[in-house]
Each structure stands twice: as structure tokens, then as C-alpha cells.
Structure 1
């Protein structure tokens, strides 16, 4: 067995030094003093020796060296008796210690305050601002929309509270919302379900509060906790409750709990129900997501509720043509009831308000003169007899049974829904979920068997495999729906959807005709990567919900309006062939289109040019054109109308 070499002197010295430094501040002061003394004293002696008039006696040499040392250490270097020198050194050392301690305390306090501000723990003192509680993919679109909505204001503020680093949130906002205009975005770090933290962002003086939908399986529980925290306030003296609160849950089963937690001032949307309804409506109305994005985006035209006393005593049909730059969509009665697309003969009473689509709230103004209508250009309605529809659903998530449920409410006898999916979970459970949806499609209780017009079938298959897709008779289906799997994160789900879309594009080439595809996306950036043709529709979940939340935060009345639009059995937005309203090839004013829709019991909101259906960014959609706009419709063009189901 060999002998171990003993540690070197250098290692032992380093070990002793480390142990000494481990004794914290006193050891650090001692080493610093020793090092300075070891350097300053010899250098002070050399300075005396190097002077032009070097002292000749040892006493004078010592006195000169002492003065140099005192100057360096800020001890003044006084001379005199040894007691006098000792006391002067003691007083000077105490002065240096006091000054250094004071500077250290001030520096530490300033640094702590700066760190506290960087951590986002100071109270927001704003009034009439919008508060965002939480952080998700909805945050950036909502902040961008609020900035656009507040573009005509002199001062506006958005306060964000999330359990994230303040500087990280600010950097992300600065990178993705580069020009917020007059809107200031204030970030604070804290838990949205802690009443003390919630009070930091001034919820008691806010105009509205948006509770964002977090990621994960516990999203609804986190929202309920946040709503309870809002009701526990105010924690800051002088604050009241916010004007109104809006949020979106994922599961409809939690709506009652959330509404109880939030109270009467809270508007709770159901994420899954809205997405399922939009997917089903888009199957029957291609291009519908683009219409909704245009209506919800503050960069375009939106819904506004405006009082107009001069229309009292007239009818809704007359109001349709009373505005040049706004498209009338309904009424809000004096008792608060919303009527979307009421009958043309509905009288407008005192206190009633107009629901209109317009560029801004100050552009909903009556026209000086009635717009011209050409009755000779009106066409006879084109009746389209109901026929069975066939839908292929590729992929699976928790919204799939709800989509089948809603689809059964729309289709006629003999319609078919085939589902192809893979992933965790038994196929039998998914097939049973579809079977249950067929009875629900007729509004039947769960234990009652009711015949459904929709026949459903489920089969296992990898939708990302070309072999699986080629084995399906894709050309026999009227619509193909691609769902994003929810057992993975949003990025992976969108990636699988993109792969499936590429294979569908390849099948289109072999068929020689387009396939109407309705694809569900989680991220708007994935939508930009998707292979597009004029027959495709993309439902971007996160962006659409973010836009809805923003609209309702700005105007609480719109919660009921959108609930009607996304409900089966209520009014809905449709794209109908333009040939059923005016004669193709005839140049007419848009006012003539409005009159044609009025005679069919509908409210015209705009039109879509089929030749521009694949051209970004509008994809042929034109919402709320001026009534005097001249347009010549071709057979592939559509009129966008608000109609009853």
C-alpha cells in the first residue's frame, strides 16, 4: 500500500485562510486591514524616502511616514504625545466606522427598495383601469386589444398580477406589444388567489377585472379561488369592489361554483362550450371564424350599444337603413333585454338602445339622408333543401362529445359523424361518449333513449399517419374537423395538427378538389404556419377567448350578446350566397343588400368576396361597409347576415 503525499504548505495556507473567512464579517475586516497595512506602511516609507527634501533624523522620518499612513487611512496623521496620537486614531477610526456604516445602510436600503420595486410588491394607485389576474397565452392578446381599445384616450392603464417575475412579464410584453400607445402596463408579482396580493393591483378602483384561464387540469379550481379572493377584499382602505369581473372556465360543470364565488358582478364564460359551438357552426358556415375575429378585434369594427332617442316610435326595420357607417344588429330594451335581429316591425320604445357594428362608439350616428335602395336589383330567395351531412372528426379532446351533441341539434336525419383518433384511454369509452351525445343532441335526459338524426362511429387510428388518412374515403365527407389533443401541451398539439393538415393537402391534390377543413389551433403563431387554401377554417382557441374576454371587460352588456350568438336556438351569424339577395353581376349599393336581408327577416352585417377568400389578411371579409358602397356580386360571393336559427 503506497504512502499518501502530505498536503503542501500552499494548500494548508489556503485551507487556513478559507476557515478564517468562514467566520464572516469580522474575519473579512481583519484580513482587509492586514492587507492594507502590509501595503500602505512600506509604500508610505518609500514615499518619504523619495521626496526631494527627505527628513534627516529618524524622528522626522517616522513622523512623515505616519502622516502618509494617516492620509491613506483617513486618520488625519496628527502628531504629538503617544496618548494624543492614540486618541486621535481612535476618534478617526470611530468616524470612519460611523460614516462607512451610514453609507452601507443607505446603500442597502436603496438596493432593497429597488429590488422590492423590481419584484413588483408596491401598491398600484390607479383609477378606472383594467386588471388582469394570472398569466397564460391569453395575456398578450388581451393587453394588445386593450391598448387598441384605449388608443383614443389620453391616459389608460392595465395592471397585471401573476405569480411570475415582474421583469420577465415586462420584457415579454415589451417584445410582443411594442406600441401600446397611451396605455401603461403595470406588472406586479403575487398570487391571484391571495386577497392581500390582489389588493396590490387596485382591484377596488378598477373599471373591470379579467381573470385569465390558466393551463393545466386544475385551471377551473384556480379561477374559483381567485374569484373568492376578489370577494374577500378590499384589503386597502378606501377601495371599493371592481365594476365587473369576467373569466372563462374550461368545464361547464364548474359554472355554478364560479358564479357563486364571483357574485352577481361576475360574467363567466365556458371555454369548451364556445369552442365547440364555433366549430359546429363553422362546419355549416365556412368562413365564420374570420367574421368573429373581425367583430372581436378592436383593429376593425365591433359591437356597440348606443342610445338614439330620435329613433323612438320607429321600427327596427327602419333603423336598419338609418345609419350610413354602422350596421344595426338588434335592440336593448329599456328593461335591459337584448333582442338580436328582432322582427322588422318591432317598435323602438323610449329608453331603448341600438346594438350596432361600427368602427368606434362615436361613429354610431344617424345618416343625414336615407341611403338609396334599388328594388329592381333584389333577387328571389334561393331555397336550399336540408340534406344529410357527413362529417369526419380527426383527433380527440374533451370537447369532442360536446361537438357531437351540438352537431346533432343542427343536422337532419341520416347525417353521419365518423371519428378517428388515437392516444391514451380506451376506445370503448370514447365511443360511449359519442353515443351519449346523440341523445343529448335532442335535449333528452341522460337516462332517456331518444332517436338522434346523427349516426356516430369511432375507430382507432393515428391521424398523423398518411396510411390512416389514405384508408379513409376523405372525398365522401362534406366537412373534416381536426381537433388538437389535450393530453399534451399546446405546442405539441398544434404540431400534430399541422402534420395532419399537410397530409390532407396531399390528399386534396389526388382528389383534384378542395376539402373543407375546420382545424382547431391553440396558438395564433401555429395558424400562421398552417398550409392554407380557400376552403380552410381555423379556430384559434386562445386568441378567440382572449378577444371575447376583452370585449366583455370593456362592455359588460356584450356578455349576454355573445351568449346568444354562441347558443344553438338563438340568433347566429351566417354566410349566405349573395345570389339569394341581389342579382349577380348587377352593381348595387350595400343599402340594397341590407333591404334584401330585411325582407328575409335578417340583418346584413357585411359580405365576403369569394375571389379573395385565400388572400390575407382579410380573406375577402368586409364587415360594415358604408351603405353607399357600390358592390358587384359574383356567384361565389356571400352576404354576412344575422339571422334566427
Structure 2
């Protein structure tokens, strides 16, 4: 019997060869086949006259080992015994082991291909770094923006939009989820999935970031209080990796749209990436929209139309060359299906946003036009077959300044915030930016008050001007809600938690609290305004099935990321619209404009322009058959049929 250490050493050597891959495994099997053939030849060669030399005997053994058809040709008991043993051994070693190695190698290769480890060879494509709750709505937004995409492709000399998504693990479930989306469907064939982390330089090379026309970095949108690595840290690391890779390869940096959660990290992100970069702060955007909805009840209807992929109107930014030399009034007369909101004028390295600009403002080639329309084609001035401009609307004169007071709720606001997420400090900071309003917020959550207060103080400092009170309670319990007396507040805000495992779980808890709240407020004579924030894009249908004002955060953020990626100037327009000061979307009673009986939208536009404002549409007091209350950019010639309680949606100035 051989010594045990020698056997262990042999097994160790064989094992090390097998783990090196299929080629070395085949080499080991080949050596085994050679040894068996040698042994078989040695067993039948002595005393046999049919073999001229040992090589012929080994060849005889090899043929029996690999092909059982030779078994019937042998004569003699000993030769038949050896031949039978060789044939049986051949089934095990040659056929079984060889096929198993090749099959495993093929399966492993196919698995690697399915995982998306092969680098793409695309140029001028769009890269999305990460698969999370933002990704599918983001893809929907990109594919739905047909007009913007055509301009984007023309700018980069590309024939079609190619999307590449980098995911931690690529699975068939992700491909199926893309194909099952109504807005994506067969277009999923043009979407390439690659496996890897944005933190890995080789993964960034795998999706060809440096050759992309635009790179979008969405945030994870989840919060782990026990982790020291936040989504913002990962975003900054991805920006550093791209910058380092471009410097090493001596290639230009691509245009990047990066989402961060904490607005205070914006300067860090901009310092990490020296190339063209737009930083989108998710906490700041959602907080601005929530506060604006507090000040202008009903604004969520406008936000959900302008800032999601739902059917309706959108804000477009067009180059000034489509109407160079014309005034805004002249352009408006040639765009009957659009509303001219204003323009952007270059100022240094940025833009001067001039919403509600006077109608006499002349358009220059370097300017950018801000237009509200249903489709990109509606923003193009109408022309006849000879290419001449077609004027189809009466002139509307907009004065330089508004002479009507800005309409906002307040100035005293009693606010009940049900739920807690990392956005609450940013929300309080946004409230503090309105010094003419006095907010008193009660914060209700099962999270320890000390933990919440520490987060708020770290964000606002010790001199936070927003009065707030911490209450530890579970708002999903009806008796707890009744003790809070929600009917005594002006507004109630239900926030989706970011501490649960998924958006579905967070929204389920939020909706439970909302239903309990509806039960408590059923007998209230003057119920407060209720604003609901949701985290799961699949809950989009709740926008029209519940009676509160609802914002689905991932859908809004995906829209902003996609539109800023396609048109960089969109970000400064949104900043102007939803920050204090300057232009704001607000609602006016028809009596402010002294409208005649049965006016159409052209009359409303003319009277609003006389007061220095831009009419956008009508907010109905009662929903229509489809549950919609908002009618933006209505047909100009049709009567508006205003009913008691209806409001005019305008772009005014504070």
C-alpha cells in the first residue's frame, strides 16, 4: 500500500489542475487516457504475434477505450478480458468525464454571458449606473421622450438610442420586468444589461462609460442607519473612478447626471468630477415640491403631469434658432398648441432664467426657449408648404411685472408629519427658506425622538428657525391618530419610510396610515390638506384613486434625471419654478381676471398677460369621468365652462 502522504500529494496536484479550468481538466483526462492505453497495451503485447511493436499494442488499447465497436473483433480469453475492461473504462473516463467537462464549461460560459461580463463596444449611448427603484421609470422616461431623443441623437450623430444598464447582478427577472412594461415592451431588445458595481473601474469599462453620450447615476434611495457608506459616498466614488479612468486613458470625460440624496454633498460631487456634470439632489427636489404643495394646495396635480411620464404636458427647452429675431409674442402666435413660458439667456457659465418674460422680448440664437406643450413637435412654429411662418393666434401682450398679489396659503401653518425618513431634515430646511411663513410642525414616528432630533440638528444646526415637536407614536393605529387630533392641523403630510426593506412595504404602511386618517377625519367639518408621499413606482395608479395629494418620489426623480440627461438646461428651469422667490405656479380664482361669461382659453391668456402672468390651464373643483381635475394647455378655441370652485392655473411671481 502506498504511503498516505504520497496519495495526498497526488490528489492535491490533480485538484490544482482541475480548478484551473476546462483546458487543464481536459489535459488531466488526456493524460489519464494515455496511461490507461499504455497499461492496456502492456497487458496484451507480451506473447502476442499480432503486434509488431509496443506502439501497435497501445494503439489497439486506445481504440477499445474510445470505441466499443471493436470489442467483437478480439479472440482469446485474455485479450477479450482486457478489451472488455478497456471498453467499460472508456465509457466512464472517455465518454463520461469528457462530456461532463465540456458540458460544464459550456454552461459556465453561457452563465458568464448571461451575467453580462463582456464589455460593450458602443459609442454615443446612454449609461445608467445601478438597478434600483429609479431604473425602470428612468428607462420609461427616456424612451417616451421621442422628440428630445431625436434632438439628442442628432447632436451626437447617432441613429438610435442605445441604453446600457449596470446592475450588481444581471438576472432573467430584470429582462422580464423591462419587457412587461407597457412603455418599453419590444424596445427592451435595445437595452443592454451588464453586471458589476459602479465602484469598480472594470465595471465602468464594461459599460463603456467614457464613450457614452450621457451617464446617469441614480441613487439607491434606501437608508441603512447602521452603515457608514451611504448612497452619496458610492456616487462620489463612481465619479472619481470615471475621472481617474479618463485621465489614465487620455480620453475626454462624458456628460454625467448624478443623483445625490444630501444637498450638502453637491460641492463634494462637483469637486470629484472635473467634466460636464449636473448634480440632482433628491432630498432637495422632493422637499421643494412638498413645501410648494403646502403653499399652493392642488399643486401635486401639476407636478404629476409635468414631472412624470404620464400622458399630458411637459416642459421643453428649445434652442433660440427656431425663432431667432422674433419676439416671444410672435413665436406664441405661431405655436397654437404650446404655451411660451419664457426663455434662458446666457450669463457667464450659467443661465439667467426669465420666466414670465415680457412678450416684447427678442429671441437670440444663443437663447433657450422654455415651452409648455404636449409633444415636442408642438414646440415648433407652424409653417406652410413653402416654409413660411403660419400665424394662427391673436397677439397676447404680457407686461413686465405682475400687479396682482401672490396667492399662497398661510402665513400660519400647523403641520402634522406622519412618518420619518432621511428627507425630513431637508424638508424642515426648505420650510425655513420661507421667512414670511410661520410653520409649526409636529413630527410623529416610532423612531426614537433623540435619534430624529440629532439628525435635524446636524442638518439645520442649532439655530433652526422652524418650530417643531417630536412625538413618539405609531400613526398606523387609529386610537393613536385620534389622540393627535389631526383635524386641528392645516396640513398633514404622510411620508414613506426609507428604513423598510422595500418600497412596497413602506407604501403599504403609509397607505394603512392614510386609511386610518380618512376614518378619523370622516366627521371633520373642515378637513386639513393631506399630502401623501409614496416610494413604489407601481403605485402610480393611486394618483387617481385616492382623494389626497400624492407624489411618487421615484417617478418624479426619474423624470428629472432623464430630462436633464437629454437637455441639460432643464435643471435650472425646475430650480426656478420650485424654489422661493421668482416665478411660481399658483392658482387664482376667475374673479381676479374679471372674465366674461363662457370665456375660452385665449381670453384667459390675454387677461393674465395684461397682469404680467402666464395662464397655464384650469384646476377643476370636481374630477371628470377619468378622475382628472387638471386641464393644462387646453384647446384655445373651446369654451372652458368654468364651474364654481374652479381655479385658473397661472405662472405668477412672488
Same fold flag (TM > 0.5) = yes
Query: In the alignment, which of 115, 124, 128 is matched to residue 128 of structure 1?
Result: 124
Give 1:277 deviation, angstroms.
1.0
Q: For residue 340 of structure 2, what is the aligned residue in structure 1?
A: 328
> Is 1:165 equivalent to 2:165 in the alignment?
no
Change (3 A) 1:73 1:462: same
Which region of structure 1 is more displaced relative to structure 2, 331-340 or 135-144?
A: 331-340
Partner of 1:344, secondary structure, is coil
Give 1:406 deviation, angstroms.
2.7
So what's the TM-score if we normalise by structure 1?
A: 0.76
Q: Is the CA contact 1:199–1:234 (under 8 Å) kept in the aligned structure 2?
A: no
Q: For residue 205 of structure 1, what is the aligned residue in structure 2?
A: 211
Q: For residue 627 of structure 1, what is the aligned residue in structure 2?
A: 636
CA distance in 2: counterparts of 1:159 and 1:366, whole angstroms: 35
Query: In the alignment, which of 503, 507, 519 is matched to residue 506 of structure 1?
Result: 519
CA distance in 1: counterparts of 2:544 and 2:372, whole angstroms: 32
Query: In the alignment, which of 61, 70, 85 is matched to residue 75 of structure 1?
Result: 70
Change (3 A) 1:530 1:372: closer
Give 1:128 deviation, angstroms.
2.5
Q: For residue 564 of structure 1, what is the aligned residue in structure 2?
A: 576
Query: In the alignment, which of 364, 374, 377 is matched to residue 350 of structure 1?
Result: 364
Which region of structure 1 is more displaced relative to structure 2, 587-596 or 157-166?
A: 587-596
CA distance in 2: counterparts of 1:316 and 1:203, whole angstroms: 39
Q: Is the CA contact 1:328–1:357 (under 8 Å) kept in the aligned structure 2?
A: yes
Change (3 A) 1:320 1:205: same
CA distance in 2: counterparts of 1:150 and 1:419, whole angstroms: 44
> Is 1:637 equivalent to 2:637 in the alignment?
no
CA distance in 2: counterparts of 1:79 and 1:235, whole angstroms: 72
* Offset from partner CA, 1:76-106 (integer Å, 9 cap, x none): 7446899999999999999998899987776
Partner of 1:258, secondary structure, is helix
Q: For residue 366 of structure 1, what is the aligned residue in structure 2?
A: 381
Q: For residue 44 of structure 1, what is the aligned residue in structure 2?
A: none
Give 1:590 deviation, angstroms.
1.7
> Is 1:341 equivalent to 2:355 in the alignment?
yes
CA distance in 1: counterparts of 2:67 and 2:409, whole angstroms: 99
CA distance in 2: counterparts of 1:416 and 1:307, whole angstroms: 41
Q: For residue 148 of structure 1, what is the aligned residue in structure 2?
A: 144
Q: Is the CA contact 1:295–1:303 (under 8 Å) kept in the aligned structure 2?
A: yes
> Is 1:399 equivalent to 2:413 in the alignment?
no
Change (3 A) 1:75 1:597: farther
Change (3 A) 1:92 1:633: same
CA distance in 2: counterparts of 1:467 and 1:70, whole angstroms: 82
Aligned pairs (5 A) from 1:567-582: 567-581=579-593
CA distance in 1: counterparts of 2:444 and 2:66, whole angstroms: 84
Change (3 A) 1:466 1:83: closer
Change (3 A) 1:319 1:642: farther
Q: Is the CA contact 1:382–1:579 (under 8 Å) kept in the aligned structure 2?
A: no
CA distance in 1: counterparts of 2:475 and 2:172, whole angstroms: 41
Q: For residue 497 of structure 1, what is the aligned residue in structure 2?
A: 510
Change (3 A) 1:410 1:629: farther
RMSD of the TM alignment (CA)? 4.4
Consecutive unaligned residues of structure 1, counting only runs of 5 or more, are 1-18, 34-68, 441-445
Partner of 1:233, secondary structure, is helix
Q: For residue 216 of structure 1, what is the aligned residue in structure 2?
A: 223
Query: In the alignment, which of 593, 597, 608 is matched to residue 604 of structure 2?
Result: 593
Partner of 1:510, secondary structure, is coil
Q: Is the CA contact 1:574–1:641 (under 8 Å) kept in the aligned structure 2?
A: yes
CA distance in 2: counterparts of 1:71 and 1:467, whole angstroms: 81
Change (3 A) 1:365 1:455: same
Change (3 A) 1:474 1:423: closer
CA distance in 2: counterparts of 1:418 and 1:89, whole angstroms: 90
Q: Is the CA contact 1:285–1:574 (under 8 Å) kept in the aligned structure 2?
A: yes
Change (3 A) 1:315 1:354: same
Which region of structure 1 is more displaced relative to structure 2, 465-474 or 281-290?
A: 465-474
Give 1:513 deviation, angstroms.
4.7
Q: For residue 241 of structure 1, what is the aligned residue in structure 2?
A: 253
Change (3 A) 1:567 1:258: same
So what's the TM-score if we normalise by structure 2?
A: 0.75
Change (3 A) 1:629 1:198: farther
Query: In the alignment, which of 189, 200, 204 is matched to residue 195 of structure 2?
Result: 189
Partner of 1:607, secondary structure, is strand
Q: Is the CA contact 2:478–2:520 (under 8 Å) kept in the aligned structure 1?
A: no
CA distance in 1: counterparts of 2:184 and 2:545, whole angstroms: 29
Change (3 A) 1:310 1:75: closer
CA distance in 1: counterparts of 2:406 and 2:652, whole angstroms: 15
CA distance in 1: counterparts of 2:592 and 2:632, whole angstroms: 19
CA distance in 1: counterparts of 2:521 and 2:508, whole angstroms: 20
